[in-house]
Amino acid sequence: MTTESPERMSFARKVWHLIVAVKDGLSLVFLLLFFFALYAVLTARPSPAAVREGALLLKLDGTIVEEKSQVGLFDTLMSGQAPAAEYDVQELVHAIDAAAKDDRIKAVVLDLSRFVGGGQVHLEEVGAALDRVRKAKKPVLSWAVAYSDDGVLLASHASEVWVDPLGGAFVVGPGGNHLYYGELLKNLDVNARVYKVGTYKSAVEPYILDKMSDPARENYTQLYGALWSEWQANVLKARPQAKLAALTADPVGWFKAAGGDAATAARNAGLVDQLGDKVAFGKRVAAVAGEDAWDDMPGAYAKTELEPWIADNPLDDSGKAIGVVTIAGEIVDGDAGPGTAGGDRIAKVLDEALDDDLAGLVVRVDSPGGSVMASEEIRRAILRHKAKGIPVAVSMGNLAASGGYWVSTPAQRIFAEPDTITGSIGIFAVVPTFEKAAAKWGVHADGVKTTPLSGQPDLIGGLPPEADALLQGYIENGYGDFISRVAASRKMTAARVDEIGQGRVWDGGTARQIGLVDQYGGLSDALEWVAKQAKLGDGDWHAEYLGDEGRTTDTLLRRLLVGDSDARTASTDLFGTLAGRQQAQLAQIAADAERLGKAQGMQAYCLECASTLRTGPVGTLQGWLAKLIALIG
């Protein structure tokens, strides 16, 4: 019998002790990480206990949206960028209305230094809520380093507008340039094969032209003119002293008259009332809302921030439920979203609610459209609710164009605002082929075919006339389906729908005149109409947002990844605003390239409508979870 030597036994014991020590050390590390993460979760969750008497501070450091986009943990960590800050418009309006009625809130404060903007309809909804605060005899005070168009519109509803002495306020109006790649693709020998129906369906123009077509120019001249008129009317109604005509007719002269001082020029134009830095502004708020007993920093004042205020003021859930399904962002195939309208996801949300005892359904649409198949999937799911005999209404936000109008066709009544963008009834598809580029580099295609369509689509060898004809016919048939759905919904002839269709985009005011919209109004108006149709009185119903349990608070993941908003973005002046627009244009180039290159089916999409969407700034990750993962790494 062999025995182990003492040396070997001693070595084995040392290895075993090392393994045990490593195990115990790892257990301790993971235990500490668990409690660290638990603390992070608890501190990130907004608490009603943080509500204090004083001002309600709305520090809007991003974009006002219809539906907050989903934060992807791994995508965000891999990019190293904090997700753009987003503010749900319905939450925001609810919070402001609650502040108007609550005696603890003495004033509402807007900090717009990092405000990116939002759709015009959303801004007007928030502005109307601020007007209700002022009607309740509570002041609304706004401050920013610099205001651009969206900030000017929102701040015009304040009782006092302040700007930093080194800042200003600038108005440029809607519109601008879009990029066209026709000559570039030609130089690259890429054949962008376009299949479309609609004289005004301009979504394909960037891939085949070098400039905007005359029909598209006519359409968007009318559209932007209507939006600009609504913007001016809204600002002047809220702030009659604003000299918009002088400011926009001769911006250089207006600027020079103030000696080149942008802040003074803004005050001379009636866009702002006071010049002062953040400390001076804070002292003014403290005079109205009270001093901060726990903060002795210069400019501090008693305040409650948005998230704990929302947590302290949940939505009413008494009475019968009226379902609200949100279709926000581009409509795509699959489960994408929230923030993107994944057709399968939204159809599933609607189908899961079929067994709920809903008194009615409101479809809230804020989308430039997208996939025809996904739009049809959503439309069919809405029809399954309509088949139950409940009233169905559509509430259009900023956009309900192309696929956004397709999903609106089941409604018994369509609500929109005068500056809603809608219509764009048309369909297209783009298929890039590379036969010219391949031949140039000595690559040729050849083979045996049993039919004219064998091997099609052949992206390298090109498409024969038969394939071109078949694809164009497929698009024309899809357009016919679109026309028939609108005709049945709006009680029009197919010829009339075709006349106002053709891919043309309409403002909400014109859309109402031509019968694409029934009446002006927002989400609350649509809900009240459904309640009336369901024979429900005031207090007998509440809105139930389908598939969005976390609607009353920001996502915990976003909070843990991002942390304090001050760490994400800094206050910006005019040049900072220009830099933000440059980033947006670069993002648009990437999106255009992706749209051309990725495989997708028929599209009911409004390109110019999509260009009105705002994208918030990004920054480095600063939240608890990001720091924890960085520590482990």
Which CATH number goes with the domain that contains 432? 3.90.226.10
Q: How many CB atoms lie within 10 A of CB 334?
A: 12
Do 97 and 181 lie in a common domain? no
Please answer whether residues 128 and 89 qualify as being in contact, where contact means their C-beta atoms are separated by less than 8 angstroms: no
- Kindly state whether residue 89 falls inside one of the protein's structural domains: yes
The one-letter amino acid code at 347 reads A
User: How far is it, in rounded angstroms, from Cα 495 to Cα 484?
Assistant: 10
- Kindly state whether residue 631 falls inside one of the protein's structural domains: no
Closest CA relative to residue 59, chosen from 113, 138, 97, 105:
113
Mean pLDDT, all residues of the chain: 85
Classified as helix, coil or strand, 462 is coil
- Kindly state whether residue 234 falls inside one of the protein's structural domains: no
Mean pLDDT throughout 454-480? 88
Do 115 and 130 lie in a common domain? yes
Q: What is the pLDDT of residues 387-443, one digit of tens each?
A: 999 999 999 999 999 999 999 999 999 999 999 999 999 888 888 888 888 888 898
- Kindly state whether residue 62 falls inside one of the protein's structural domains: yes
Question: What's the predicted TM-score (pTM) here?
Answer: 0.85
Give me 99's structure tokens: 């502040």
- Kindly state whether residue 526 falls inside one of the protein's structural domains: yes
Banded model confidence at residue 372, pLDDT cuts 50, 70, 90 = very high
Evaluate if residue 345 carries a pLDDT over 70: yes
Do 77 and 219 lie in a common domain? no
Please answer whether residues 449 and 464 qualify as being in contact, where contact means their C-beta atoms are separated by less than 8 angstroms: no
Closest CA relative to residue 56, chosen from 142, 145, 162:
142
Please answer whether residues 402 and 604 qualify as being in contact, where contact means their C-beta atoms are separated by less than 8 angstroms: yes
Evaluate if residue 552 carries a pLDDT over 50: no
Domain boundary among 263, 296, 314: 314
Write down the pLDDT at residue 621.
43
Q: Which residue has the higher pLDDT, 466 or 601?
A: 466
Domain boundary among 314, 347, 377: 314
Find the helix or strand (DSSP H, E) in which 617 lies: none
Q: List the strands of the sheet with 303-305, edge to edge.
A: 274-275, 160-169, 140-147, 105-111, 54-59, 303-305
- Kindly state whether residue 284 falls inside one of the protein's structural domains: yes
Count of all residues that appear for the chain in the document:
633
Q: Which letter, b or e, does each residue of 538-565 get, where b requires 16 or more Cβ atoms within 10 Å of its Cβ?
A: eeebbbbbbbbeebbbbbbbbbbbbbeb
Q: At what angle do helices 624-632 and 6-44 cross, to 10 degrees?
A: 170
User: How far is it, in rounded angstroms, from Cα 485 to Cα 489?
Assistant: 6
Please answer whether residues 164 and 276 qualify as being in contact, where contact means their C-beta atoms are separated by less than 8 angstroms: yes
Find the helix or strand (DSSP H, E) in which 485 lies: helix 465-490
Mean pLDDT throughout 554-582? 55
Phi first, then psi: what are they for 22, rounded to 5°?
-60, -45
Tell how strand 392-401 and strand 81-82 pair up. Answer: unpaired
User: How far is it, in rounded angstroms, from Cα 517 to Cα 499?
Assistant: 16
Q: Has 211 been annotated as catalytic?
A: no
Do 377 and 425 lie in a common domain? yes
> Could you report how far apart the first and last alpha carbons of the chain are, in Å?
50
- Kindly state whether residue 232 falls inside one of the protein's structural domains: no
* Percentage with pLDDT > 70 across the chain: 79
Indicate the range of 330-334, 353-357, 624-628 predicted with least confidence.
624-628
Find the helix or strand (DSSP H, E) in which 476 lies: helix 465-490
Indicate the range of 87-96, 128-137, 511-520, 584-593 predicted with least confidence.
584-593
Evaluate if residue 43 carries a pLDDT over 60: no
Which listed residue (68, 138, 196, 201) is catalytic? 201
Do 130 and 150 lie in a common domain? yes
Do 144 and 195 lie in a common domain? no
Write down the pLDDT at residue 446.
86
Give me 311's structure tokens: 């947590």
Do 202 and 309 lie in a common domain? no
* Percentage with pLDDT > 90 across the chain: 55
Banded model confidence at residue 192, pLDDT cuts 50, 70, 90 = confident
Residue 118's domain comprises 48-171+239-314
Q: Please give the tally of structural domains in the chain.
A: 2
Tell how strand 117-118 and strand 541-545 pair up. Answer: unpaired
Please answer whether residues 82 and 620 qualify as being in contact, where contact means their C-beta atoms are separated by less than 8 angstroms: yes
Q: Which residue has the higher pLDDT, 9 or 514?
A: 514
Closest CA relative to residue 379, chosen from 405, 417, 415, 416:
405
Max mean pLDDT among 77-91, 536-550, 606-620 falls in 536-550
Classified as helix, coil or strand, 308 is helix
Please answer whether residues 63 and 615 qualify as being in contact, where contact means their C-beta atoms are separated by less than 8 angstroms: yes
Do 458 and 583 lie in a common domain? yes
Banded model confidence at residue 550, pLDDT cuts 50, 70, 90 = very low
Phi first, then psi: what are they for 440, rounded to 5°?
-60, -30
Please answer whether residues 265 and 257 qualify as being in contact, where contact means their C-beta atoms are separated by less than 8 angstroms: yes
Q: What is the pLDDT of residues 443-455, one digit of tens each?
A: 888 888 888 888 8
Residues with Cβ within 8 Å of residue 559, at least 6 apart in sequence: 44, 45, 623
Domain boundary among 280, 295, 314: 314
Do 204 and 301 lie in a common domain? no
Which listed residue (113, 148, 375, 402) is catalytic? 402
Q: Has 627 been annotated as catalytic?
A: no
User: How far is it, in rounded angstroms, from Cα 225 to Cα 328?
Assistant: 25
Do 609 and 461 lie in a common domain? yes
Write down the pLDDT at residue 581.
60
Indicate the range of 71-75, 140-144, 314-318 predicted with least confidence.
71-75
Report how far Cα 579 is from the mean position of its chain's Cα atoms: 20
Tally of CA atoms within 13 A in the half-sphere of 445 that contains its CB: 18
Cα–Cα distance list, 363 to 326, 379, 382, 422, 522 (Å): 6, 10, 8, 15, 12
Evaluate if residue 33 carries a pLDDT over 70: no
Q: How many CB atoms lie within 10 A of CB 269?
A: 25
Q: What is the pLDDT of residues 92-135, one digit of tens each?
A: 999 999 999 999 999 999 999 999 999 999 999 999 999 999 99
Per DSSP, the residues of 321-337 read EEEEEEEES-EESSS--
- Kindly state whether residue 338 falls inside one of the protein's structural domains: yes
Do 210 and 277 lie in a common domain? no
Do 151 and 113 lie in a common domain? yes
